[in-house]
A and B are shown apart, each in its own frame.
Chain A
Amino acid sequence: MRLAVDIGGTFTDLLLVDDDSGEIWIEKVLTTYPDPSEGFLNAVQKASAASKRPLSGVDVLVHGTTLGINAIIERKGSPTALLATEGFSDSVELRREQRYVMYDLLLELPEPLAPRNLRFGIRERVTSQGEVLVPLDTEQVAKLLSRLTARGIEAVAVCFLHSYRNPAHETAVAEIAREVAPGLNVSLSSRVNPEVKEYERASTTLCNAYLQGRMAEYIENIEASLAARGFAGAFFIMQSSGGLTSSVTAKELPVRVLESGPVGGMLCAAHHGRVASAPKLLAFDMGGTTAKIGVIDGGSPLVAPGFEVDRRYRFAKGSGLPVRAPVIELLEIGAGGGSIAQLDALGLVKVGPESAGSSPGPACYNLGGTRPTVTDADLMLGYLNPAFFLGGEMTLSPEAAEQAILNDLAGPLGMDPREAAWGIHELVNESMASAARVHLTDRGKDPGDYPLFAYGGAGPVHAFGVARVLGSPQVIIPLGAGVASARGFLTAPASFEAVQGWYRTISETTTDEIGDLLRHLEDQGRAMLATAGIPDDRIEVHGYCAMRYEGQGHDVRVHLPGARVESKAALSEAFERRYASLYGRTVAGRDIKLVTWGVIAQGPSSDLRLSQLLKSADSGDGALTGQRPVFWPESRSCEETPVYSRYALRIGESLEGPAIIEERESTIVVGHRARARVDGFGNVVIDLE
Chain B
Amino acid sequence: MASDLKNPIHQKILWDRLISITNEQSAALIRTAFTPLLREAEDLSAGVFDGRARMVAQSETGTPGHINSMATGVKHFLREYPPERLDPGDVLITNDPWYTSGHLNDLTVATPVFHRGKAVGFFANTCHALDMSGRPLSADAHDVYEEGLYIPIMKLCRKGELNEDLVGIIKGNVREPAAVMGDLQAQIACNYVGATRLVSLLEEFALDDLEEVSDIITGRTEEVLRQAIAALPDGDYSSETWADGYDEAIRIRTRVTISGDELAVDFSGSSPESSRGINVVYNYTAAYTTFALKAAIAQDVPNNDGSFRPVRIIIPEGTILSARRPAPVAARAILGHFVPGAVLRALSPILGERAMALGADSVWLTTLQGKRPPASDFSYTFFVMGGTGARACKDGLSATGFPSGVAGCPVEVTENLTPILFHKKELRPGSGGAGRFRGGLGQSLELAVASGAPYRFGVTCDRTKHVALGLDGGAPGGAGTFALDTGEVLNDKTSRVLDRDRRVYLDLPGGGGYGDPLDRSPEAVLRDAILGYITPQEAAEVYGVAVRVSGSPDELVRLEEDYRLDLGETRRLRQQMRLGQQIRQSTEGGEKR
The distance in angstroms between the C-alpha atoms of A102 and B302, with both chains bound, is 12
Q: Considering only CB atoms, which chain A residue lies closest to B227 in the complex?
A: A345
Question: B564 interface residue, CB < 8 Å from A?
Answer: no
Complex: chain A residue closest to B181, CB-CB: A587
When the two chains form their complex, are residues B220 and A346 in contact, meaning their CB atoms are under 8 A apart?
A: yes
Binds A, one of B248-256, B291-299, B569-577, B582-590: B291-299
| Shortest CB distance B449–A (Å) | 13
Q: Which of A87, A106, A413, A553 contacts B422 (CB 8 A)?
A: A87
Closest A residue by C-beta to B388: A99
Chain B residues with Cβ below 8 Å from A423 are 7-9, 12
Contact B560 A105 (CB under 8 A): no
Expressed in whole angstroms, the Cα–Cα distance for A136 and B421 within the complex equals 18
Q: Which residues of chain B are near A552, meaning CB under 8 Å?
A: 32-34, 39
Contact B24 A437 (CB under 8 A): yes
Contact between A431 and B16 (Cβ–Cβ < 8 Å)?
A: yes
B311 at the interface (CB under 8 A from A): no
Chain B min CB distance to A205 (Å): 14
Assembly CA distance A552 to B296 (angstroms):
35
| B13–A117 CB distance below 8 A | no
Proximity bits, A76-117, B CB within 8 Å = 1, else 0: 000001000001111101111111001111111100000111
With A94-B408, A106-B393, A551-B36 as contacts: A88 and B221 at CB distance below 8 Å: no
**Judging by beta carbons under 8 Å apart, are B300 and A344 in contact?**
yes
A197 touches B353 (CB 8 A): no
B405 adjacent to chain A (CB < 8 Å): yes
From A94, A553, A585, A589, B427 is in contact (CB under 8 Å) with: A94
| Closest A residue, CB atoms, query B186 | A583
CA of A584 to CA of B188 in the docked complex: distance in angstroms?
A: 13
Complexed CA–CA distance, A150 and B20 (Å): 56
A94 is contacted by which of B399, B412, B423, B531 (Cβ under 8 Å)? B399
Are A348 and B15 within 8 A (Cβ)? yes
Q: How far is the CB of A504 from chain B (nearest CB, A)?
A: 8
Bound-complex Cα distance A150 to B556 (A): 11
Residue A567, interface by CB 8 Å: no
| Interface flag for A127 (CB, 8 Å) | yes
Within 8 A of B (CB), among A188-215: 196-199
Interface flags, B103-125, vs A, CB<8A=1, else 0: 00000000000000000000000
Is the Cβ of A102 less than 8 Å from the Cβ of B64? yes
Closest beta carbon of chain A to B440's beta carbon, Å:
9
B62 to chain A, nearest CB (A): 8
Residue contact A438 to B24, C-beta cutoff 8 Å: yes
Q: Are B416 and A196 in contact (CB under 8 A)?
A: yes
User: Interface size (A, Cβ < 8 Å)?
Assistant: 78
Q: State whether A105 and B356 are in contact (beta carbons under 8 Å apart), knowing that A97-B385, A116-B532 are contacts in the complex.
A: yes
Contacting A at CB under 8 A, from B423-473, are: 423-427, 443, 446, 450
Q: Is the CB of B400 within 8 A of A99?
A: yes
- B366 on the interface (CB 8 Å rule)? no
* Complex-state Cα separation, A551 to B235, whole angstroms: 51
Cβ–Cβ contact B17 & A97, under 8 A: no
Q: How many residues of B contact A (CB 8 A)?
A: 91
Residues of chain B within 8 A of A91, CB atoms compared: 411, 425
Are the CB atoms of A349 and B400 closer together than 8 Å? no
B26 to nearest A CB, angstroms?
10
Given A144-B556, A197-B410, A554-B39, the answer on whether A587 and B182 have CB atoms closer than 8 Å is: yes
Closest chain-B Cβ to A112's Cβ sits at a distance in Å of 10
- Within the assembled complex, what's the spacing in Å between the Cα atoms of A156 and B531? 18
Contacts known (A98-B406, A427-B9, A551-B36); A345 close to B31, Cβ less than 8 A: no
Mark contacts of B389-406 with chain A using CB atoms, 8 A cut-off: 1 yes-contact digit, 0 otherwise: 001011001111110011
Determine the chain A residues whose CB is within 8 A of the CB of B393 once the complex forms.
106
Q: How far is the CA of A133 from the CA of B64 in the complex (A)?
A: 41
With a CB–CB cut-off of 8 A, which chain A residues contact B394?
106, 108
A415 at the A/B interface (Cβ < 8 Å)?
yes
**A63 on the interface (CB 8 Å rule)?**
no
Instruction: State the Cβ distance, A171 to closest chain B Cβ, in Å.
Output: 18
The reply to whether B426 and A88 contact each other, CB–CB distance below 8 Å, is yes
Contact check, B425 vs A96: say whether CB atoms are below 8 A apart. no
Q: Please tell me which one of the listed residues B7, B391, B407 contacts residue A98 in the complex, with CB atoms under 8 A apart.
A: B407
Interface string of B477-519 (1 = CB under 8 A from A): 0000000000000000000000000000000000000000000
Residue pair A97, B408 in contact (C-beta under 8 Å) = yes
B593 to chain A, nearest CB (A): 38
Q: Which of A88, A109, A128, A434 contacts B416 (CB 8 A)?
A: A128
Q: For residues 324 through 341 of chain A, which have their beta carbon under 8 Å from a beta carbon of chain B?
A: none
User: Which listed residue, B299, B423, B450, touches A104 by the CB 8 Å rule?
Assistant: B299
A-B interface contact total, Cβ < 8 Å: 224
Contacts of B560 in A (CB 8 A): 115, 117
Kindly state whether residue A147 has any CB partner on chain B within 8 Å: yes
Whether A346 and B224, one on each chain, are in contact in the complex, defined by CB atoms closer than 8 angstroms, is yes
Indicate whether A441 sits within 8 Å of B27 (C-beta atoms), given known contacts A103-B295, A127-B415, A551-B179. yes
List chain A residues, Cβ under 8 A from B295.
102-105
Instruction: Give which listed residue, A88, A106, A553, contacts B391 with CB less than 8 A.
Output: A106
A415 CB contacts on chain B under 8 angstroms: 8
Does residue A549 face the partner (Cβ distance < 8 Å to B)?
Answer: yes
Given contacts A196-B412, A441-B27, A554-B39, contact A94 B407 (CB under 8 A): no
Contact B36 A589 (CB under 8 A): no
B375 in the interface (beta carbon within 8 A): no
Closest residue of chain A to B393, judged by CB? Answer: A106
CB B562 to nearest CB in A, in angstroms, measures 9
**A426 an interface residue at 8 Å Cβ cutoff?**
yes
Question: Which of B12, B16, B31, B398 is within 8 Å of A93, CB to CB?
Answer: B398
Tell whether A348 pairs with B8 under 8 Å between CB atoms, given A87-B425, A554-B39: yes
B178-198 interface bits toward A, Cβ cutoff 8 Å, 1 = contact, 0 = none: 110010010001000100000
Closest to A344 in B: B300
Give the CA-CA distance A96 to B383 in the complex, in Å. 10
- B384 located at the interface, meaning its Cβ lies under 8 Å from any Cβ of chain A in the complex: yes
Query: Are B178 and A589 in contact, with the CB atoms below 8 A?
Result: yes
When chains A and B are docked, how far (Å) is the Cα of A196 from the Cα of B412? 6
B530–A93 CB distance below 8 A: no
Whether A554 touches B182, Cβ cut-off 8 Å, given contacts A99-B405, A427-B12, A430-B16, is no
Measured CB to CB, the closest approach of chain A to B268, in angstroms, equals 26
Asked if B53 is at the interface (CB within 8 A of a chain A CB), the reply is no
Once bound together, how far apart are the Cα atoms of A442 and B61, in whole Å? 15
Question: A146-165 toward B: CB 8 Å interface, digit per residue (1/0)?
Answer: 01101111000000011000
Q: Does A347 contact B (CB under 8 A)?
A: yes
Q: How far, in whole Å, are A115 and B526 apart by their CA atoms in the complex?
A: 14
Q: Which of B39, B400, B401, B405 has the most CB of A within 10 A?
A: B400
Q: What is the minimal beta-carbon distance from A380 to any residue of chain B, in angstroms? A: 15
Is B558 engaged at the interface, CB distance under 8 Å to the other chain?
A: yes
Contact A105 B391 (CB under 8 A): yes
Does B423 lie within 8 Å of A99, measured CB to CB?
Answer: no
B386 to chain A, nearest CB (A): 9
Interface contact A102-B39, CB-CB below 8 Å = no
Chain A residues, CB < 8 A from B302:
346
CA distance A81 to B533 in the complex (A): 18
- B-side contacts of A585, CB under 8 Å: 185, 189
CA distance in complex: A665, B559 (Å): 50
Also in contact, A98 and B400, with CB within 8 A (given A103-B295, A430-B16): yes
A588 within 8 A of B: yes
* Complex A-B: 22 CB contacts under 8 Å: A96-B407, A97-B408, A98-B41, A98-B408, A102-B291, A106-B353, A107-B397, A116-B532, A133-B421, A144-B557, A152-B559, A345-B300, A345-B301, A346-B301, A423-B8, A430-B16, A434-B16, A551-B36, A552-B32, A583-B189, A589-B178, A590-B178
Known: A437-B20, A549-B182. 4 other contacts (CB 8 A): A98-B405, A161-B411, A552-B39, A553-B36
Listed from nearest, the 5 A-B pairs whose CB atoms lie closest are A553-B39, A423-B9, A87-B424, A97-B408, A434-B20
Residues of A with Cβ closer than 8 Å to B? Answer: 81, 87-91, 93-99, 102-109, 115-118, 127-128, 133, 143-144, 147-148, 150-153, 161-162, 196-199, 344-350, 413, 415, 419-420, 422-423, 426-427, 430-431, 434, 437-438, 441-442, 503, 549, 551-554, 582-585, 587-590
